[in-house]
Amino acid sequence: MNRVAITGIGIVSPAGLKKETFWANLKNARSFVDKITRFDASLYPSRIAGQIHEIDKYTHLSQRLIKRIDIFSHMALVASQQAIEDARLDLNSIDKNRVGVFMGNALGGWLFAETELRDMYIEGREGISPYMASAWFPAAPQGQITIYYGFKGYSKTVVADRASSALAIWYGAKVLLEKKNDYILCGGMEAPVTPYALLCANTYGELSKNNSSPKTAYRPYDLYRDGMVIAEGSGVAILEREEDAIKRNIPIYGFIKGVGFSCDGFHYSRSSLNTEALEYAIEKALEDSNFSKDKIDYICLDGVGSIVSDMLEAKAIKNVFGKYLKNISLSAPKSMFGNLLGSQTAIDLIITLLSMQNDLVLPTINYEEKDPYCDIDCTPNKPIQRKIERALIISRGRGGINVVLGIERG
Amino acid sequence: MVSKDEVYSVIAKILDVDKKEIQEDKKLYDSLGVDSTEMVELTIALSKQFSVKLDTKEISKFATPLEIVDLINKKKQQ
């Protein structure tokens, strides 16, 4: 059977703008959450985030292109370039008609849009940039990547709240197995640190208001958790069929083995308190990946950090794995840099692959007090050495979109 | 009358290119890979800078910088 191999990764995150820095920073279990500095956020209930500060130092793009695109496309283009180089893809020899781009995003590119809409209202019709039309919408980064590299294969952008990039990765893998494309760039990008996007995220209601202590604000599973912290960034992975990767003699990080998904079918924004749907998605991912419960080494958790979400996730995991759970390492490394919303699973995939490569489980930081309703071992505060052969990544979107990916070591 | 240099400065600024890269007798599309969206931006910028009413139908990406200078001067004389 063909397996979907991951042969390159690229990352733009608050914890680092390339994989080496990212990994070194996360290994040290530091927090990269801080007060928002891009604009005056003092009146927002939650005004802390994981932010990207130095993208201009790492970019390969011309100023001419940068000014036409939103920062979320910029981040996705930088992550794509890293992934392409990492996978040693020779863009001159591959058939670009068979390269597709599958990205996830939840919010769109508001930094660009907000400024231009303001100018339109102040200056009139001619005050708005002609690039507005192509800069703001969630599929803009996919378009920019395909145009930049001349990729012409079947491509899609998925919008499904925080499960967006999980679905995009699965979609890319499926298209590869159907042999519609030979190479896939998949992942996601999100840029919620803008005045309007931050307002939306605040209205959403699951954000931490622990503004006085940004570094300890995001504390999944801890008794004193009060919500997630948003973050911006992008993660991109290169997928190809295993046989092609072997032919190219390229190192394989890991394989996407399977997926399970479900919807709570309960409410437009809240998750159901009944965890059956999430449990179903986990079971289906195990089945689709051909993983047995006793062979799972690691689960990269959704770790929203809100009272209810963490409780439900813990309950579902316990129900599914029962006695096997004590042998599985669990963690939410996103506690170190924030939740990248529609791009989060792309980052979680990269974390899982690097953890496999380094035989190390990254921790959930800021864990101090056990919550009796959420008593899972989430690898608190310090990484642990462990060989990881098989892992799951749990991703949940607003309103109960459940996606679970099964990953196998390369 | 506007000078070539004044017009080329606006083109260079809007397209983020060095003024030396502007080839006055080559179509903007051929010399600098200008696309239609960039032309909209350029047309608006030139209209504002030189106080003339330019339409995107009058200047396309297939115009040369010299033709643009001529058009602006023609409009200014009207």
User: Which residue in B15, B16, B41 is closest to A129 by CB distance?
Assistant: B41
Give which of B35, B37, B33, B22 is closest to B68, Cα–Cα.
Answer: B22
- Rounded Cα–Cα distance for residues A281 and A361 (Å): 23
**Residue in B with minimal Cα distance to A135:** B37
Q: What pLDDT, on a 0 to 100 scale, did the predictor assign at position A364?
A: 98
Q: Do A68 and B44 touch (CB under 8 A)?
A: no
User: Which residue in A64, A133, A134 is closest to B15 by CB distance?
Assistant: A64
Q: How confident is the model at residue A260 (pLDDT cuts 50, 70, 90)?
A: very high
Q: Do B37 and A131 touch (CB under 8 A)?
A: yes
Q: Do A64 and B41 touch (CB under 8 A)?
A: no
Q: Do B16 and A63 touch (CB under 8 A)?
A: yes
Q: How confident is the model at residue A268 (pLDDT cuts 50, 70, 90)?
A: confident
pLDDT at A1 > cutoff 70? no
**Residue in B with minimal Cα distance to A131:** B37
A394: three-class secondary structure by DSSP: strand
Q: Do A131 and B41 touch (CB under 8 A)?
A: yes
Lowest-pLDDT range of A42-56, A393-407, B57-71:
B57-71
- Rounded Cα–Cα distance for residues A205 and B54 (Å): 49
- Rounded Cα–Cα distance for residues B14 and A397 (Å): 41
- Average pLDDT of chain A to the nearest whole number: 96
Average pLDDT over residues A241-251: 96
pLDDT at A319 > cutoff 70? yes
The string of pLDDT tens digits covering residues B51-66 is: 999 988 888 888 999 9
Question: Helical H runs in A87-124?
Answer: 110-123
Q: Are strands A183-190 and A99-104 parallel, antiparallel or unpaired?
A: parallel
Tokens linked to A203: 């209205």
How much of chain A exceeds pLDDT 70, in percent?
A: 100
**Residue in B with minimal Cα distance to A67:** B16
Q: What pLDDT, on a 0 to 100 scale, did the predictor assign at position B78?
A: 82
- Specify the long-range contacts of residues A351-355, CB closer than 8 Å, at least 24 apart: A351/A26, A351/A300, A352/A254, A352/A298, A352/A300, A352/A388, A352/A391, A352/A393, A352/A407, A353/A6, A353/A9, A353/A237, A353/A253, A353/A254, A353/A407, A353/A410, A354/A9, A354/A19, A354/A22, A354/A23, A355/A298, A355/A388, A355/A391
Phi, psi for residue A374 in degrees, rounded to 5: -150, 40
Tokens linked to A6: 């991951």
Q: Give Cβ neighbours of residue A406 (< 8 Å, ≥ 6 apart).
A: A256, A257, A258, A259, A260, A285, A286, A288, A289, A291, A390, A391, A392
- Rounded Cα–Cα distance for residues A299 and A392 (Å): 5
Distance to chain A for B51, nearest Cα, Å: 14
Give which of A210, A178, A389, A205 is closest to A294, Cα–Cα.
Answer: A389
Distance to chain A for B36, nearest Cα, Å: 10
Average pLDDT over residues B19-37: 92
Q: How confident is the model at residue B36 (pLDDT cuts 50, 70, 90)?
A: confident
| HEC secondary structure over chain B | CCCHHHHHHHHHHHHCCCHHHCCCCCCHHHHHCCCHHHHHHHHHHHHHHHCCCCCCCCCCCCCCHHHHHHHHHHHHHC
Residues of A engaging B, defined by a Cβ cutoff of 8 Å: 62-64, 67-68, 126, 129-131, 133-134
